[in-house]
Each structure stands twice: as C-alpha cells, then as structure tokens.
Chain A
Amino acid sequence: MNREKIQQILILVIGCAGIVYGSYALIIKSKFKKIKEISTKSKTVSTDLGKAKKEVKSLTKIKAKVKNLDAEVTRHERELISEDSFEFFLGIIKKLADSENIALQKSTLLDSVNTLPANEVYAERWVSVETSAPYHAIGKLIAKLENYSPFIRIVELNIVSSGSTIKTHNVIITVGFLVKKNKRNA
C-alpha cells in the first residue's frame, strides 16, 4: 500500500468516525435523552393512572359506603343534644327536675373535659347540679335524664344522707351532654 492509500484510509476512518459521532452528538443523543425523559414521565403518569383507575373502580362502592355511614351518623346525631350552650343543658335538667318536684339549688357548667380525645366533631359538656331530694326521686330524675337522650349520662354523683329519720338527701349530680362542637367553641 502506498502512502496515498494510507492517507485515503485514514481520511475514511476519520470521516466515518466524524459522521458517527456527529450524528450521535447532534441527533441520536438528544433523541435518546428525550426517550429517557418520556420514559420517566410515562412511569409517573402510569403510576398515577393506576391509582386513579383503582380509585375510580372503587367509586361506586365508596359512594354506597358513604351513603350508609351518613345515614347512620345522621340517625345517631338526631339523638344528640342539639345546642351547645349551658342555658340549653340547664333547661333540660330544670324541665326534668320540675316534673319530679325537685328544686335545683345550684347549677354550674364545669370546665370542658376531653372524653373523646381523637374527635374533632363532638365534645362532652359537664353540668353540675346541687339539690336535695328523696332517694326514689333522684332515681326517677336519673331515669328521665338517661331516657331523654342516649348521649346524656350521669358522670358523677354524690348523695349524702342527712340522717336516718330524714327522707331527703343532699345530692350533687354531674350530668354529661354529648354535643356537636360549634365552630366557635371548637
């Protein structure tokens, strides 16, 4: 091989390498970069799409579940104390005590207690009342309070006998009312 041919071969090799590199650097590399980007994006969209499909598939089921739950909660909530105020609680106690001829001597709204720690919707309010009444009358008042709503309960009670001959006893009752929190009170 003469020198001229060697030069030609060299030019050919360099030329080919140049064409390959040039086309790779200018066109193919960017194409593959774009393919990679699209692949990554596709993966994300595919994951989101999978999740969305799953959620949509369960939509009918969830709708039915929510409907049932809502009906059940509404049914329970109808039995709740409708107003979150001391006047309202006292009104209930007073009405029921009057029906048993029990005179209330003192009533106080106690500090809010947290008997439902994880709940943001409901709260229990405690009202303490002092009175003096016979044992059976107190029992009747307790029964009336508990029958008024399943969300009224006797939280604390202290009855002390005034003496073996006296029929009325001093009693302090703390009544708990479950209410739906007012946003202003929450």
Chain B
Amino acid sequence: MNDNIIEINLSEKYKEKKKKKEPVLKIPNALGVVVMIVIVAFAVSHLLLYLRENSLKKMTARFNELKAPAKEAARLKKMSQDLSKRKEALNGCKENWNTWAGKWLELAKLTPDSIFLQEIKISVDNVPDGKQTVLIRGRASGKEGESVILNYLEALKTSKVFNTKFKKMVLSPVYTEGNQKVFSIDLIQ
C-alpha cells in the first residue's frame, strides 16, 4: 500500500499516464460542427437563391413573351369601350329622338273642324336630355266649345302616337273671346 502511494506520487511514468487519462478538449470537432453548419446554411441560401432566380427568370421570360399580345389586348379593350360608347350614343339618338312626321299627320286627323289651331310650338326643355314639350294653342267655336276642347284633349290622350312619348297632357284655363273658347294644351314628355 505504501509502495503504491510512493509510486503514485513519485513516478514520472504514472504522471504521464494520469495526464493521458484526463478528458481531452475536442476543439477541432466543435469547430468542424460550426463550420459544417455555416456551410449548410450557405448551401441552403445559395440553393434558395438559385431556385428563386431561376423561377423569376422563367416568369420574366414568359411575361416578355406575353407583353406584346397583352398590350394588343389592352388596346383592343379600350377600343371596345370607345366603340360601345359610340354605339350607345348613336342608338340613344335613334331610340329617343322624337319623330314628328307621324305626329304632324295625327294632329291634323285628331283636330275637329270646330277647332282652329293658332299655334303649335315644339321646344326642347332639358338640354342635354333633349326632352321636348309641345304647346298647342287654339280656339273652339260654338256653344259646345268646352266639350269640343275636352274631347280633343281626350283624343290626344288616347292617341298612341302621342301618349307613348308624352306622359302628361295638361289643359290650361279656358276663356271666352266673343263666341269662341280660347285654350292651350301642354304635352310634356
């Protein structure tokens, strides 16, 4: 036992042995792991970048390919909008403009002999919608003047030529001048 103690304390061999048995710090290994991590991170980032760049290149190439037809499509779209507007304007005129030839004839037909028309006035009230109003001024002769006027107004109201365009027909106050009844009727769109 004592021999052992002496050996432990004094032997150089033992010292060297003991030194070898102590845990060795694995510096190179730890560094290696860090370097590996860095390399992996670098590789991943590089791969990601490569993939993204590649995808962007493809997309840009495809976009450039479609640029001209897309431009043409946009131009045609604008052209189509312009043409639609023009068509709408022209159709609007055709459909909404009043025609007067037929109405003129109808008015002559509806006016009885006992009514003498003094004035017909067509005017545009609301520019730009172009709605027209008509003023018919006249005289009805005879004792039955009022009845003739009322019948005349009724005939105008029931005439399809007039009532499709003029929703409102208003008789103004009727007054007497000699043996005639003076009246005026407003036709409003």
Interface residues of A (CB under 8 A from B): 5, 8-9, 12, 15-16, 19-20, 23-24, 27-28, 31-32, 34-35, 38-39, 41-42, 45-46, 48-49, 51-53, 55-56, 58-59, 62-63, 65-66, 69-70, 72-73, 76-77, 80, 113-119, 121-122, 135-136, 138-139, 142-143, 146-147, 150-151, 153-161, 164, 176, 178
Are A49 and B120 within 8 A (Cβ)?
Answer: no
Interface residues of B (CB under 8 A from A): 25, 27, 30-31, 34-35, 37-38, 41-42, 45-46, 48-49, 52-53, 55-56, 59-60, 62-63, 66-67, 69-70, 72-74, 76-77, 79-80, 82-87, 89-94, 97-101, 104-105, 108, 116-124, 127-130, 132
Given A35-B52, A58-B73, A157-B100 in contact, is the A49-B62 Cβ separation under 8 Å? yes
How many residue-residue contacts, CB under 8 A, span A and B?
A: 191
Contacts of B124 in A (CB 8 A): 155-156
Are A31 and B101 within 8 A (Cβ)?
Answer: no
Q: Report the minimum CB–CB distance from A147 to chain B (whole Å).
A: 8
Q: Report the minimum CB–CB distance from A101 to chain B (whole Å).
A: 18
A66 to B87, CA, bound (A): 12
A55 to B73, CA, bound (A): 6
Are A45 and B63 within 8 A (Cβ)?
Answer: yes
Given A12-B31, A157-B100 in contact, is the A20-B94 Cβ separation under 8 Å? no
Given A66-B76, A118-B85, A122-B86 in contact, is the A113-B127 Cβ separation under 8 Å? yes
